Chains A and B, each alone.
Chain A
């Protein structure tokens, strides 16, 4: 989840047509990108999916992430149907990401591949593209103004993928807290330049880090939304590198 925060943070950087402001927008993006993050993070999450008829599905997940969220392992704790299902993700810079799923009913680990970056992750409104880190230099940034959002003074930044960079979004409009340099609202536009997703982020401070407290993502076109609420967050606990292995998927954390 931190990757999402980081990604949106990068998207905040903008470049105004005038050189003077272009520099400023880029600098904001860079500042967000370079914001210090914990070495590892353990948390419990409640993920609530709501469809356009107002029907909901709720899951409780336990997550451990490291290496700036490039490695992550999650276990489903509830609902009972899903209990024990576990997922391991390792992002690679030079090859396809590695994803494995433990299916307790079949007693099998299955590797998962999604080449379609726009696909939903776990039936949520977050796509794989939303969850993978984005490179600062792959976007151009433009400062669109300033606005107070929910009492927070924000920059309004537009980020657009540079030519040759394939993305499923045409552009983002992000509202960045001036005080903390974190995004609090982000709007993603599809390739037809129609608003596709609106994301609202809330943070808590722990050990000097801005950590996600709640993320709300709404697919405005499908009228579907996902709310992720984080609790029991622990950071810099010294997670062992060998935790991120297939064999650990089968062991539910205490």
Chain B
């Protein structure tokens, strides 16, 4: 089989090139069906308990993931005719948007008044253009109704706050884009702030993708330059890039076809898929670099491209095949990930890797055969300075085995200690640098308005019962005592206000009535002049479920956990047990989701390690090889999470996933090293030069591979902190896995060479 593959490149290079390109283009036609999906909400799993509860809440009460728009002029009171007219226009235009369920602003709110015995439910802002008298009346109403004021205005009264409730199932990304058009039409002269979990989930995916794609281009250029500098040959670098591009076309085409054929959202290209092209790039680059460097080394010996290609492939076919299947196996572990798009991710990138393997063992060697190489050129005839440096480095490592081992052990121990300092954080605000405009907006809304986070308490009880309503009131008071909660709203507030109104606006009656009949009469009274939908976000149709919403300033994930614990402890009191309260909201879903992703990422890392060990043991025919193959990977994993803990890099869904993925890529180095070590063991035996020869053979391609992939450290310049972490992790993973391979693994192999020779059935002579 191996020889058949080798023959295709060596004997039929043109046919092989045409065939691989044609097959790539055929699969590439799937790009017609390739679809980008920026709706983050679609990616969330629907079978976790908090999500199911949240979905039930949305079905009953409408969407709870509000978006916020604040606008005004710092220091200038917005309650004036001109600004209110603008608010009216903006609110009306936002209301017209198809995916909007409700707009809550001064312009759209109702007021309840008691006028000469009337309970009058009427518009808080009756007209677009208000006269002085109407303005004064509005101001007075807001002053006496603090909850409405807090909800609608900044603390200093210099900004309006508009809350946007999307329709259930609305595409947040499209809605955000439409809202921005409305804002651009009316709010050119104002300072504008956006916020809310709904807004962030809508706005972020496209921003992150654009940012990453831009930086990826910079990374590609960096990779190109590093390869050119090291290989010193344009054709060689061009053929590696050819392999990369064809792999990408194949992968995206496959993704498109799968979406077309299965119709499944799993194959939509969303924000989580952003790392796919980067990962495939590094893998295809790795295969190409190993083939090219081996080819140059062989060319130095015999000057004939065909012989050099044959020799290179004889040496590399197995390790490249092994690295491909181990990486594919690792990515296929994502099929069990909690997020649906990651299943599509796993399948599609596996196909891309498989194709990169075919291309690097058929397409790339065919080009090498066809190209007329000058055997006397510097690239072919002499090792580069870089290559010589790597060889010298290998010599130093191999001459100090104990030092290397002890150093490695110390580093791993430091890593283990650091793991205990890991911090889990998913507050989206922490995704942005402090000077980022989105973060500034969120901070502004936190300090001046109601904040942009919200938490819901779902109460299952008789919501016409005064006892229940009074308990709700005390729960809300407890919530409002928390430093992060700015406002709490429930049906109890509305009932209290109605009670006051029916008693001639007497503040003494802003209480829960003492009988159920009275509560019911109040609802009836409201239904005579208010819209029944006014309560739909607070209480269900049968008055059996109610929602108490707390508006909050941004808090960290650990604070959320703390707050939820406090609420749960409060609700454990005997008084509240009969209310059957569930804490829900997007924050709770995120909290659970992140836990799930992190757990599954660790399971995925563990599964990858075991699968890689198993595959290596199977193909190298002994369990000891399997154990050795995962030593560099395991130490890099420990070090990765340890250093994240030490340097305060938060563990969130992005960093957990990326750690799993990037470290999975790093395993390739160990496979290459072991494979060459075995080759030398079989061809030269224990001749004293075993590890040095292996180092000379594999050291340079491993370091070049790692160095060129490190160009994606360009992501360090991203405006998003998780993307910066991704760049940092990319560099770190490359450094840690390549170093671990060329130090720890190299020394372990050297120290165990007699045992390994015995395993391989090679005669040991003294």
Name A's B-contacting residues (CB within 8 A): 51, 53, 55, 57, 76, 81-82, 85, 87, 99, 101, 103-106, 108, 110-116, 119-123, 192, 222
Q: Could you say which of B133-141, B184-192, B529-537, B666-674 contacts chain A?
A: B529-537
Inside 8 A of A111's CB, which chain B residues have their CB? 116-119
Contact B530 A113 (CB under 8 A): no
Output the least CB separation between A75 and chain B (Å).
Answer: 12
Output the least CB separation between B125 and chain A (Å).
Answer: 13
Output the least CB separation between A130 and chain B (Å).
Answer: 14
Taken together as a complex, chains A and B put the C-alpha atoms of A114 and B542 apart, in Å, by: 25
- Pick from B60, B513, B520: contact of A82, CB under 8 Å: B520
Output the least CB separation between B468 and chain A (Å).
Answer: 15
Taken together as a complex, chains A and B put the C-alpha atoms of A23 and B517 apart, in Å, by: 55
Inside 8 A of A53's CB, which chain B residues have their CB? 59-60, 541
Contact B502 A103 (CB under 8 A): yes
Contact A222 B533 (CB under 8 A): yes
Contact A103 B528 (CB under 8 A): no
- Give me 19 other A-B pairs in contact (C-beta within 8 A), A55-B540, A55-B542, A119-B121 excluded: A53-B541, A57-B541, A82-B520, A101-B528, A104-B521, A105-B515, A105-B518, A105-B520, A108-B502, A110-B502, A111-B116, A111-B118, A112-B118, A112-B529, A114-B528, A114-B529, A116-B123, A119-B529, A119-B530
Interface centre among B116, B464, B527 (most CB of A within 10 A): B527
Inside 8 A of A192's CB, which chain B residues have their CB? 96
Output the least CB separation between A205 and chain B (Å).
Answer: 33
Inside 8 A of B517's CB, which chain A residues have their CB? 81, 104-105
B396 contacts the other chain (Cβ, under 8 Å)?
Answer: no
Contact B525 A103 (CB under 8 A): yes
Contact B117 A81 (CB under 8 A): no
Taken together as a complex, chains A and B put the C-alpha atoms of A114 and B534 apart, in Å, by: 15
Contact A120 B531 (CB under 8 A): yes
Contact B60 A116 (CB under 8 A): no
Contact A119 B531 (CB under 8 A): yes
Inside 8 A of A87's CB, which chain B residues have their CB? 528
Could you tell me which residues of chain B, from 508 to 552, have a CB within 8 Å of some CB in chain A?
A: 513, 515-518, 520-521, 524-525, 527-533, 540-542
The answer to whether A122 and B527 touch (CB under 8 A), given A53-B60, A103-B502, is yes
Inside 8 A of B520's CB, which chain A residues have their CB? 81-82, 105
Between A and B, 17 residue pairs with Cβ closer than 8 Å are: A55-B541, A76-B524, A82-B520, A82-B524, A85-B524, A101-B528, A104-B521, A105-B517, A106-B518, A110-B117, A110-B118, A110-B525, A111-B118, A115-B122, A119-B529, A120-B527, A123-B532
Contact B532 A120 (CB under 8 A): yes
Inside 8 A of B540's CB, which chain A residues have their CB? 55
Inside 8 A of A105's CB, which chain B residues have their CB? 513, 515, 517-518, 520-521
Inside 8 A of B533's CB, which chain A residues have their CB? 120, 222
Output the least CB separation between B546 and chain A (Å).
Answer: 15
Inside 8 A of A222's CB, which chain B residues have their CB? 533
Taken together as a complex, chains A and B put the C-alpha atoms of A51 and B533 apart, in Å, by: 11
- Pick from A51, A85, A106, A119: contact of B541, CB under 8 Å: A51
Contact B528 A121 (CB under 8 A): yes
Contact A106 B521 (CB under 8 A): yes
B120 contacts the other chain (Cβ, under 8 Å)?
Answer: yes
Contact B516 A113 (CB under 8 A): no
| Chain A: CB-nearest residue to B524 | A85
Output the least CB separation between A54 and chain B (Å).
Answer: 10
| Chain B: CB-nearest residue to A54 | B541
Name B's A-contacting residues (CB within 8 A): 59-60, 96, 115-123, 464, 502, 513, 515-518, 520-521, 524-525, 527-533, 540-542
Contact A81 B516 (CB under 8 A): yes
Interface centre among A87, A104, A113 (most CB of B within 10 A): A113
- Pick from A55, A99, A101, A116: contact of B524, CB under 8 Å: A101
Contact B119 A112 (CB under 8 A): yes
Taken together as a complex, chains A and B put the C-alpha atoms of A87 and B524 apart, in Å, by: 10
Contact B121 A114 (CB under 8 A): yes
Taken together as a complex, chains A and B put the C-alpha atoms of A115 and B520 apart, in Å, by: 23
Taken together as a complex, chains A and B put the C-alpha atoms of A106 and B516 apart, in Å, by: 11
- Pick from B116, B118, B464, B528: contact of A122, CB under 8 Å: B528
| Chain A: CB-nearest residue to B96 | A192
Taken together as a complex, chains A and B put the C-alpha atoms of A65 and B624 apart, in Å, by: 95
Taken together as a complex, chains A and B put the C-alpha atoms of A100 and B755 apart, in Å, by: 99
Q: Which 3 A/B pairs are nearest by Cβ-Cβ distance?
A: A105-B517, A123-B532, A103-B521
Inside 8 A of B542's CB, which chain A residues have their CB? 55, 57
Taken together as a complex, chains A and B put the C-alpha atoms of A105 and B93 apart, in Å, by: 42
Inside 8 A of A82's CB, which chain B residues have their CB? 520, 524
Inside 8 A of A76's CB, which chain B residues have their CB? 524
Inside 8 A of B516's CB, which chain A residues have their CB? 81
Taken together as a complex, chains A and B put the C-alpha atoms of A114 and B364 apart, in Å, by: 79
Contact B502 A99 (CB under 8 A): no
| Chain B: CB-nearest residue to A219 | B533
Output the least CB separation between A141 and chain B (Å).
Answer: 29
Output the least CB separation between A50 and chain B (Å).
Answer: 9
Taken together as a complex, chains A and B put the C-alpha atoms of A111 and B528 apart, in Å, by: 10
Taken together as a complex, chains A and B put the C-alpha atoms of A57 and B527 apart, in Å, by: 13
Taken together as a complex, chains A and B put the C-alpha atoms of A74 and B517 apart, in Å, by: 19
Inside 8 A of A106's CB, which chain B residues have their CB? 502, 518, 521
Taken together as a complex, chains A and B put the C-alpha atoms of A120 and B536 apart, in Å, by: 14
Taken together as a complex, chains A and B put the C-alpha atoms of A3 and B593 apart, in Å, by: 56
Taken together as a complex, chains A and B put the C-alpha atoms of A119 and B528 apart, in Å, by: 9
Inside 8 A of B121's CB, which chain A residues have their CB? 114, 116, 119
Contact B521 A85 (CB under 8 A): yes
Taken together as a complex, chains A and B put the C-alpha atoms of A222 and B531 apart, in Å, by: 12
Output the least CB separation between B58 and chain A (Å).
Answer: 12
Contact A113 B118 (CB under 8 A): yes
The answer to whether A113 and B531 touch (CB under 8 A), given A101-B524, A101-B525, A106-B518, is no
Inside 8 A of B123's CB, which chain A residues have their CB? 116
Taken together as a complex, chains A and B put the C-alpha atoms of A123 and B123 apart, in Å, by: 18
Contact A113 B532 (CB under 8 A): no
Inside 8 A of A120's CB, which chain B residues have their CB? 527, 531-533
Taken together as a complex, chains A and B put the C-alpha atoms of A81 and B517 apart, in Å, by: 6
| Chain A: CB-nearest residue to B535 | A123
Inside 8 A of A115's CB, which chain B residues have their CB? 120, 122
Contact B118 A103 (CB under 8 A): no
Inside 8 A of B541's CB, which chain A residues have their CB? 51, 53, 55, 57
Contact A103 B524 (CB under 8 A): yes
Contact A113 B521 (CB under 8 A): no
Taken together as a complex, chains A and B put the C-alpha atoms of A222 and B534 apart, in Å, by: 13
- Pick from B96, B122, B528: contact of A99, CB under 8 Å: B528
Inside 8 A of B115's CB, which chain A residues have their CB? 113
Inside 8 A of B528's CB, which chain A residues have their CB? 87, 99, 101, 112, 114, 121-122
Taken together as a complex, chains A and B put the C-alpha atoms of A87 and B525 apart, in Å, by: 10
Taken together as a complex, chains A and B put the C-alpha atoms of A122 and B516 apart, in Å, by: 19
| Chain B: CB-nearest residue to A118 | B531
Taken together as a complex, chains A and B put the C-alpha atoms of A105 and B531 apart, in Å, by: 22
Inside 8 A of A55's CB, which chain B residues have their CB? 540-542
| Chain A: CB-nearest residue to B540 | A55
| Chain B: CB-nearest residue to A51 | B541
Interface centre among B59, B60, B521 (most CB of A within 10 A): B521
Contact A113 B120 (CB under 8 A): yes
| Chain A: CB-nearest residue to B518 | A105
Taken together as a complex, chains A and B put the C-alpha atoms of A122 and B524 apart, in Å, by: 7
Inside 8 A of A104's CB, which chain B residues have their CB? 517, 521
Taken together as a complex, chains A and B put the C-alpha atoms of A59 and B149 apart, in Å, by: 37
Output the least CB separation between A47 and chain B (Å).
Answer: 12
Output the least CB separation between B60 and chain A (Å).
Answer: 7
Interface centre among B120, B533, B541 (most CB of A within 10 A): B541
Output the least CB separation between A110 and chain B (Å).
Answer: 6
Inside 8 A of B527's CB, which chain A residues have their CB? 120, 122-123
Taken together as a complex, chains A and B put the C-alpha atoms of A83 and B502 apart, in Å, by: 19
Inside 8 A of B118's CB, which chain A residues have their CB? 110-113
Interface centre among A55, A108, A112, A116 (most CB of B within 10 A): A112
Taken together as a complex, chains A and B put the C-alpha atoms of A150 and B428 apart, in Å, by: 57
- Pick from A57, A81, A110, A121: contact of B119, CB under 8 Å: A110
Taken together as a complex, chains A and B put the C-alpha atoms of A23 and B757 apart, in Å, by: 108
